[in-house]
Amino acid sequence: MRKRAQYIKIIITISGIAGILLLVIRMLGIFMDFRGEDVVLIAGLVLLGLVFFPLFLIDKRQQDKKINAIIKSYGGRNNRAKEPGTSGQYPRGWGMNDSPFRERRSGLSWGGGNIKAADATRGTRRSFLKR
């Protein structure tokens, strides 16, 4: 499923760029009098109208469904109160590292700042500050 989505995005990109380039060539053909400028216009409109826009809309709808499913999965959980705790700070919401919209591709956590790759650890965050 994941590879299919990647192929669709590649097709969307290539067809969009090719369609726009064909329309630009058609615009140049008006002034430079190319042969077959009508064919170039039709090919550009077909690429944009029958390939790019439908695939773009399908991909957008799939992304919206995925986001709505993630939001729905968090819907039944108890929300934390937005009142300051004893420390006077508001509870933290989703951050960069725990957002449900972000895929984790590795188990490594980086402390941030000016650290070396050897300081990357699994399961601990910002451990370099404690050293």
Q: Would you list the DSSP string of 96-114?
A: TTT-TTS----SEE---SS
Distance CA 70, CA 68 (A): 5
What confidence score (pLDDT) does residue 11 get? 94
Q: What does each C-alpha distance from 75 to 78, 80, 97 come to in angstroms?
A: 8, 13, 20
If one compares 123 and 40, the residue with the highest pLDDT of the two is 40
Mean pLDDT score of the chain, rounded to an integer?
76
Residue spans of the domains in the chain: they are 2-73
Specify the amino acid at residue 11: I
Quick: pLDDT tens for 37-68. 889 999 999 999 999 999 999 999 999 999 99
pTM here is 0.55
Beta strands (DSSP E) in the chain are 108-109, 121-122
**Widest distance between CA atoms in the chain:** 77
What confidence score (pLDDT) does residue 100 get? 63
b/e for 98-121, b at 16 or more Cβ within 10 A? eeeeeeeeeeebebeeeeeeeebe
End-to-end CA distance of the chain: 44
Asked whether the beta carbons of 65 and 57 are under 8 A apart, the reply is no
pLDDT greater than 60 at residue 125: no
Distance CA 56, CA 13 (A): 9
